[in-house]
């Protein structure tokens, strides 16, 4: 049998908490109001990846009461879905949310390519977005995209996501990503965050056994050949 194996896949988990019924539009509205209050108190904000007129708060959103419910939901998504999927034994290792900051991108604002160094996992949640205020772009830094090759569906230099209200994106902190300029007259409200890892034992014991061929595919299968 002829096979192909994906050696080092990059993962991006996508959820919509509004569609899942885990939050309501009223709750999102309350988060937006809290972000407006943050910006009113600190209208300049800080400059990190945000460009042009994009506003970014300092860390500390994780300590604001309005966000406690969302923090619990995101933590559960990590520990109930993401961490087990990665082959980690959650009786040995779990994660919680660390630093969280707020972002408001008005017309022309964007975020330059960056990573969230210094932790295991990161993510973004969209409080107010219609999907047309600039895509979230995951950038492929692999060797396969820097050579001369025909453009084809199974090798891309970037993956585009058009987030809407309630969208939750979770990804490795080392994933290079950016946000396109907002070309609309609408402000997009989002937060970004990193995780803290907690070990209940030896970190090496957290690696549980999974099928070693989970990313191996049969080339004789028409669905694989494409």
Query: What local confidence, expressed as pLDDT, does residue 225 receive?
Result: 74
Query: What local confidence, expressed as pLDDT, does residue 149 receive?
Result: 67
Query: What local confidence, expressed as pLDDT, does residue 148 receive?
Result: 65
Query: What local confidence, expressed as pLDDT, does residue 208 receive?
Result: 82
Is there a domain that residue 221 lies in?
no
Query: What local confidence, expressed as pLDDT, does residue 73 receive?
Result: 98
> Helix axis angle, 25-41 relative to 68-77, nearest 10°?
120
Is there a domain that residue 220 lies in?
no
Is there a domain that residue 210 lies in?
no
Is there a domain that residue 51 lies in?
yes
Number of structural domains found in the chain: 1
Structural domain span for residue 57: 10-201
Query: What local confidence, expressed as pLDDT, does residue 154 receive?
Result: 77
Neighbours of 142 (CB within 10 A): 11
The domain that holds 66 is classified in CATH as 2.60.120.620
Query: Using one digit for the tens of pLDDT, what is the confidence trace for 108-125?
Result: 999 999 999 889 999 999
Burial of 150 (0-12, 13-18, 19+ CB in 10 A): exposed
* CA 191 from centroid of its chain's CA atoms: 10
Is there a domain that residue 128 lies in?
yes
Neighbours of 210 (CB within 10 A): 11
Mean pLDDT by 10 residues, the chain (226 residues): 88 97 98 98 91 92 97 98 93 94 96 92 98 95 71 82 98 95 97 94 77 91 81
Query: What local confidence, expressed as pLDDT, does residue 192 receive?
Result: 98
Q: Report CA-CA distances (Å) from 41 to 1, 38, 101, 189.
A: 64, 5, 15, 17
Is there a domain that residue 149 lies in?
yes
Q: How far apart are CA 163 and CA 213, in angstroms?
A: 32
Is there a domain that residue 155 lies in?
yes
Q: What is the reported pTM?
A: 0.93
Is there a domain that residue 215 lies in?
no
């Amino acid at each position: 049998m002829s096979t192909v194996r994906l050696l080092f896949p990059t993962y991006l988990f996508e959820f919509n908490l509004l569609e899942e019924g885990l939050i309501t539009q009223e709750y999102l509205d309350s988060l937006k109001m809290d972000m407006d209050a943050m910006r009113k108190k600190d209208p300049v904000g800080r400059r990190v990846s945000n460009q042009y007129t994009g506003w970014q708060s300092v860390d500390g959103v994780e300590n604001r009461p309005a966000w406690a419910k969302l923090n619990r939901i995101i933590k559960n998504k990590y520990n109930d879905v993401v961490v087990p999927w990665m082959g980690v034994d959650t009786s040995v290792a779990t994660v919680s949310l660390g630093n969280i900051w707020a972002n408001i991108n008005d017309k022309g604002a964007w975020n330059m390519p960056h990573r969230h160094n210094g932790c295991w996992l990161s993510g973004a949640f969209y409080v107010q977005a219609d999907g047309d205020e600039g895509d979230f772009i995951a950038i492929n830094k692999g060797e396969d995209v820097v050579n001369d090759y025909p453009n084809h569906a199974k090798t891309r230099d970037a993956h585009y996501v058009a987030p809407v209200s309630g969208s939750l994106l979770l990804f490795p902190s080392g994933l290079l990503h950016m946000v396109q300029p907002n070309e609309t007259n609408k402000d997009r409200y989002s937060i970004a965050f990193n995780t803290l890892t907690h070990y209940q034992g030896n970190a090496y014991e957290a690696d549980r056994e999974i099928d070693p061929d989970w990313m191996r595919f049969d080339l004789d299968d028409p669905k694989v050949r494409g």
